Structure 1
Amino acid sequence: MTTVKERALAVGNRLGVKVIPKLPDGAKRLLSGGRAVTIDGNTLDPALQVLLAAQRATGANGLVIADDALLSRANFAVLSQTLDQPDVRVAEVRQVSIPGPAGAVPARHYSPATGGAPAPLLVFFHGGGWVLGDLDSHDSACRLISRDAGIHVLAVDYRRAPEHRAPAAIDDALAAYRWARQHAADLGADPRRVAVGGDSAGGNLATVVTRLARDAGDPLPSLQWLIYPLTDMRGQTRSRSLLGDGFLLTKHDTEWFQDTYLEGSGLDRTDPLVSPVLADDLAGLSPALVVTAGFDPLRDEGDQYAAKLREAGVTVDHRQMSSMIHGFVNLNALGGGVAQANAEMISALRAHLARN
């Protein structure tokens, strides 16, 4: 059962995705206070500025509701259902069950509408702070990636906290990657080109899986695609504080996600299994496509991880989307600059996988 606030949020979001893309930038600025928002030389995208103003008008601030996982998941589902693009078409979508360390791991396979040689496969881990998100919350994004990159996407529904603490999500993600390497041909994909990727917490999982695969002597992913990844749980970067309120993901959200993921796990925030930027050795990892957003609390740690990979000799393509907020991969329906940012990073993904 939805709350009054959730119903108001849903109505506002549905109206927004219909109206905002049609408005000129000047009108968008007027609707959200009349002045552009500029921080660190970055100017917030007008459509996102309207969206954030509408969110505040409904009393919404951040993704975590009352520090409650179930309420927060319900709120996140409303956001996902009312801001997605239901008309993104791919050739086929089917459910997959992957053997995991604690039972079957549900997954969803998206096939591209391409002929000829088998296309690459991306093993995708959704964001949501290891607590929120599922196959449905990122369905539209995975369709968009599969369609526009012309690749297969295998979205993984790894175990979430608080029901399953770290390293459950890591174990499921690694098992899914290994299964994908073995079964890529069965999915119609090219077994020589299997990449990993994800947004936020999913980006964290993607880079941890890459390092664990290296350490275990497994075949490395063709690419690690890290979309505004969380890489440093110490939370000491400037952007965590500077951008920690008013831009969808808040500082409180991030802290609560981390605490929920780690509580009772026996892992410390400085463990490279959860803070990959603190790993001693990043040499020999897969090439990385790292995407950060100018108005994201996780911006600086994503930038730092890209720099540390490069220092270790890893090939890095670092795309800084200066006008974007955390979560923009799920906001493509807003059009304009958001759609352009998604198009750029998906085009880059396609180009990198085509070269492998």
Structure 2
Amino acid sequence: MGKLLATLVVAGTASWGALALWFKFSAGRLPKLLAITLWMAFSLAVLIASWQGRITLSLLTFVAGFAALLLWWRQLKPSNNRLWNDEVAQMVTGTVTGSHVTLRNVRNFEWRSRNDYTQRWETRDYDLDRLRSVDMILSYWAGPVVAHTLVSFGFDDGEYVVFSVEIRRQKELQHFSQIGGFFKRYELSIVAADERDVIRVRSNVRGEDDYLYRVQMPTAQMRSLLLAYMDAANRLVETPRFYNTITGNCTTIVYQMVSHIIGGLPLSYRLLLSGYLPEYVYAIGGLDQRYPLEELRARGRIGERARQADRSATFSADIRRGIPELAPKG
């Protein structure tokens, strides 16, 4: 039993260490492979020693080696100073004066293809007294289980601003890895964007499957959520943070903000399997209960409408056609 336990502990920890070195050892490909080879050879030598009966000595030796690896791991700090992809090159920040919010670096790109676009970063003002709606947008890019979560705030003058919690991808890291998200591979970013930018790039350019749901939320909580996004974005500018596939992603961070505002929200596996987030929000009464969820899903599928609207000046209104308005309050 002692040998079996030692084998499981060393093998699991060795695997974690190998992945950590693969994703974060940045001295070059050859030194990285050498570091992983040496680490695995060291771990194998410890296992062989434990199988030969020297369990205590071998485990103490492994603990010392793993401690050295953890010391290197703890020295890896997030940064805002890297060569970022254009769509996350700027960080949104905001200030509040009375009921007026000013957001700087609101993204409003003109997308023609994945690699052909006109960059625009704008400063926009919003009046919280005119805030009227919160919509949840799910963009499915890897089957029914995984979706990207966006939250759109609508105002009575027809303006919308969308917040999106995203990885801040570096130019040399073009491919997203969910496993890498456990190993400090990406920094975290909060993007504020025009709907015509952030929805259209997903539905029209990348070919993702997008759904829009109107969220039932009191006006005071809408305001609090928008300000929570702004505060979180301001903190990221001051104190960068690593993205984490479970604890710091596009869904769990939104859950943490909403839970802080509302309180008492239950935990659920659907917060991790973000494609099932509409089921979770519907179950807690956050979506229109007059309709079954399947009808809300069907009427909220906006991909085709977004492709038809494309560069329309009334893009936001066009994609909402056919989605039932929420019942009047009271």
Q: TM-score range by the shorter chain?
A: under 0.3
What's the TM-score, normalizing by structure 1?
A: 0.26
The structure with the larger Rg is: 2
What's the TM-score, normalizing by structure 2?
A: 0.27
